[in-house]
Amino acid sequence: MRLVSLAKGGRDGALAIVSADGTQYVDATQAAPTLQAALDNWGRVEGDLRSLAGSLSASNGLQPIADTALAAPLPRAWQFLDGSAFSSHGALMDKVIGVVPQRRAAPLMYQGMSDRFYGPTEDVPLPGEDLGIDFEGEFGVIVDRVPMGIDAEAAMQHIKLVVLINDWSLRALAGPEMKTGFGWVQAKPASSMAPFAVTPDELGAHWVDGRVCLDLAVDWNGERFGRANGREMEYGFHDLVAHAARTRALCAGTVIGSGTVSNANFREVGSSCIAERRGIEIVDEGAARTGFMRYHDRVRMEAFVEGGRTLFGAIDQQVVPATRL
Amino acid sequence: MRLVSLAKGGRDGALAIVSADGTQYVDATQAAPTLQAALDNWGRVEGDLRSLAGSLSASNGLQPIADTALAAPLPRAWQFLDGSAFSSHGALMDKVIGVVPQRRAAPLMYQGMSDRFYGPTEDVPLPGEDLGIDFEGEFGVIVDRVPMGIDAEAAMQHIKLVVLINDWSLRALAGPEMKTGFGWVQAKPASSMAPFAVTPDELGAHWVDGRVCLDLAVDWNGERFGRANGREMEYGFHDLVAHAARTRALCAGTVIGSGTVSNANFREVGSSCIAERRGIEIVDEGAARTGFMRYHDRVRMEAFVEGGRTLFGAIDQQVVPATRL
């Protein structure tokens, strides 16, 4: 089952279900007005949504998806906890920064901005081209309510939806903020989500041990930039959920991110963010050649399953100058 | 004007206005059902609320506040950005950790958990007495929508309410998380708020340059632990708001915290968290004597104005063992 939030539904969108081929939708607001409301009552609502998803037809109001604007599945969330679970990315970044790489005892995770997620084609306003504008392609999951102190195995059952996220990053601000130990605020503005939030069963054989085993196709200004696969996560999403819930219950609708998708053979498959490519250049050539994004640059992110079917739909958006916003 | 959220109003509370003596309230849900709704439409709603506040009487339904449970003013918020703006606290912590103290170019700030704020007398469940359970008394402000890129002077106009916060901290987890550079997740569980959210004009001469110039009385198990004054903030709240808004618009209802209230003469006035007292002991005596909190320990926080009137009401709550929550 794949769910979307129609932008016309207001600030939290209006819940709808997507057809198998991704070209049509049916209003699902009778089951729950918004995706947040569905997650708040998932045990009760899921059955209704699955019934509806199983009987999509013109008679229950199928509409062409091309005719409507899609918001992020959760246009805002109460919580976004973003990991950094791909060790090839971390090890490379450590090398570039000059830190001795080490196997960590626990997942890396920070609390990110969650009161706004951009929709898949919205313009992304940022206040300076000199801030090191970078995309970060990652997978994420959305949970229903998770009790404090849950273990990873039990956490798996709380993963209700899988999403594709572009975690926008401002690299010129990231280093100084990281050095404070306080994590990122200015360096991590609002993120974007691809339009379809997908139940794990939709991934079939590509959902393995809490990992999204799909290539993440990233295009920058129409050129393929990376196609790293999600299978190399050092920790599965269930481990990340359990980590997040050690000292807090997670509210329904909490988004947990994987961190930049990255593979050990990054020289072959490319990267999901510019900083990683620059890191490779520094290691291989002594200096970074690739610049960060400029205004009106576009980034596209998508993951495909059998038959070239797009699973999450596409993020495809441009960076624009921020005026007073 | 002082606003409260009645716990009986459900997850986001029901908005009410408190009488001048703090003992009674009047339902304000006709103006806005919740404080979040009021902040979403502050320009339109503020006048109605002030009219109501100016005419509290038995005829418009004054009720004894003792007869109802009060939630946090915002039982959940879309965003909590917590600063560390008291330099005497930071300098002492630097000394204890062994970092060379330095004047920082920008405020320190991290993104905190915001999907749950405990009410003033709710029990606080935590999963282990060995985690270094500590309170952190701080002031905070709540803003209406703030545009991206605003300057500090203009940011001042967006500060609509002042609150008192206990930012619960788990010190055994804080150091390792801080060293990752990612900030705190496990070390910063849900915070608590005192019951009354107060418009800045209520502070009168105690609201100076975006600072709450009041002693914060902190009692631990019935003994005075600290009475540091909020006037020594290195940055005012307007500076913190502008810092937070550099690369993001702040949604209405964003909570901005001051960080632990601390004064240069901490040996005289005491501290607003246990970690600071332990730091003083380490500096003065070579080792920390004071332990962290145990289950069923209580902490009380309050700030008084003229005539011994409590401005924010009191936080007064105990720590309890977390079962599956």
Please report which confidence band the pLDDT of residue A324 belongs to, taking 50, 70 and 90 as the band edges. low
d(Cα A77, Cα A71) in Å, to the nearest integer?
13
Yes or no, beta carbons of B78 and A114 under 8 Å apart: yes
Residue A86's pLDDT band (cuts 50, 70, 90): very high
Assess whether pLDDT exceeds 70 at residue B118: yes
CA closest to B150 among chain A residues: A324
Whether the pLDDT of residue A235 is over 90: the answer is: yes
Sign of the four-CA dihedral A39, A40, A43, A46: negative
Chosen for mutation from B145, B185, B240 (greatest number of chain A CBs closer than 10 Å) is: B185
- Whether residue B110 and residue A111 make contact (CB cut-off 8 A), yes or no, is yes
Is A322 close to B189, i.e. CB distance below 8 A? no
- Rounded to whole angstroms, how far apart are CA atoms B38 and B29? 9
Cβ-defined contact of B247 to A126 (cutoff 8 Å): yes
Look up the pTM and report it.
0.97
Q: Do A249 and B178 touch (CB under 8 A)?
A: no
CB contact (8 A) between residue B186 and residue A324? no
How far from B324 is each of A222, A226, A247, A248, CA to CA, in Å? 49, 42, 11, 10
The structure tokens listed for B52 are: 């109501």
Please tell me the distance from the alpha carbon of residue B230 to that of residue B215, in angstroms, as a whole number: 6
Task: Say how far apart CA A67 and CA B183 lie, in whole Å.
Answer: 42
CA-closest candidate to residue B187, choices B139, B136, B233 = B136
Q: Which residues of A touch B189 (CB under 8 A)?
A: 247-248
d(C-alpha A63, C-alpha A47), whole Å: 22
- Token representation of residue A96: 């570039």
Q: Which stretch of DSSP H or E encloses residue A217?
A: strand A215-220
pLDDT computed for residue A39 by the predictor = 98
What distance in Å separates the CA atoms of residue A85 and residue B198, rounded to the nearest whole number? 42
Cβ-based contacts of B126 with chain A (< 8 Å): 247
- Retrieve residue B194's tokens: 């005192």
Please tell me the predicted confidence (pLDDT) of residue B225.
98
CB contact under 8 A, B189 and A248: yes
Give the DSSP H or E segment for A153: helix A152-156
Instruction: Name every chain A residue with its beta carbon within 8 A of the beta carbon of B158.
Output: none
Q: Name A55's Cβ contacts closer than 8 Å, sequence gap at least 6.
A: none
Q: Where does the pLDDT of residue B103 fall: very low under 50, low under 70, confident under 90, or very high at 90 and above? A: low
Q: Is B325 in contact with A81 (Cβ distance < 8 A)?
A: no
Structure tokens at A238: 């269930």
Partner residue opposite A110 with nearest CB, options B176, B182, B243: B182
In chain B, residues with a C-beta closer than 8 Å to the C-beta of A147 are 324-325
Which pLDDT belongs to residue A58? 76
* Alpha carbon distance A75, A6 (integer Å): 10
**Does residue A107 carry a pLDDT above 90?**
yes
Angstrom distance (rounded) from CA A90 to CA A105: 14
Confidence of residue A141 (pLDDT cuts 50, 70, 90): very high
- The ipTM (two decimal places) reads 0.96
A11 neighbors A26 (Cβ within 8 angstroms)? no
Is residue B101 over pLDDT 60?
A: no
B200-231 tens-digit pLDDT: 999 999 999 999 999 999 999 999 999 999 99
CA distance B69 to B62: 15
CA distance A150 to chain B (A): 8
Distance between B183 CA and the closest CA of chain A, angstroms: 4
Q: What is the pLDDT of residue B91?
A: 83
- What B50-55 contacts at long range (C-beta under 8 Å, 24+ apart), as own/partner pairs, is B50/B1, B52/B17, B52/B26, B52/B28, B53/B1, B53/B17
**DSSP 3-state of A292:** coil
Q: What is the pLDDT of residues A53-69, one digit of tens each?
A: 998 877 788 999 998 89
pLDDT at A92: 85
CA distances from A78 to A192, B79, B112 (A): 15, 8, 11
Q: What is the pLDDT of residue A323?
A: 83
Mean pLDDT, all residues of chain A:
95
A255-273 tens-digit pLDDT: 999 999 999 999 999 999 9
Alpha-carbon distance of B153 to A225, in angstroms, equals 42
Q: Are A242 and A64 in contact (CB under 8 A)?
A: no
pLDDT band at B135 (very low <50, low <70, confident <90, very high): very high
How many other CB atoms are there within 10 angstroms of residue A308's CB atom? Answer: 6
Closest-CA residue to A228 (of A282, A191, A265, A275): A265
Which pLDDT belongs to residue B102?
Answer: 59
The pLDDT of residue A314 = 97
Nearest CA in chain A to B190: A248
Say whether pLDDT at B99 is over 70: no
Q: Is the distance from CB of B217 to CB of B224 less than 8 angstroms?
A: yes
Angle among Cα B3, B6, B12 to the nearest 5 degrees reads 90
- Residue B94 has a pLDDT of 76
What was the pLDDT predicted at B51?
95
- How is residue A244 written in tokens? 């997040």
Taking residues B192-198, report their average pLDDT: 98
Tell me whether residues B243 and A76 touch, CB distance under 8 A: no
Tokens representing B147 are 């545009």
Q: Give contacts of A244 with chain B, Cβ < 8 Å.
A: 185
Q: How far apart are CA B288 and CA B279, in angstroms?
A: 7
pLDDT band of residue B298 (cuts 50, 70, 90) is: very high
* Residue of chain B with shortest Cα separation from A248: B189
Q: What is the pLDDT of residue B100?
A: 62
* A248 closest CB neighbour out of B78, B106, B113: B113
Are B214 and A140 spatial neighbours (Cβ–Cβ below 8 Å)?
no
Q: Is it the case that residue A99 has pLDDT exceeding 80?
A: no
Is-contact B269 B229, C-beta < 8 A? Answer: yes
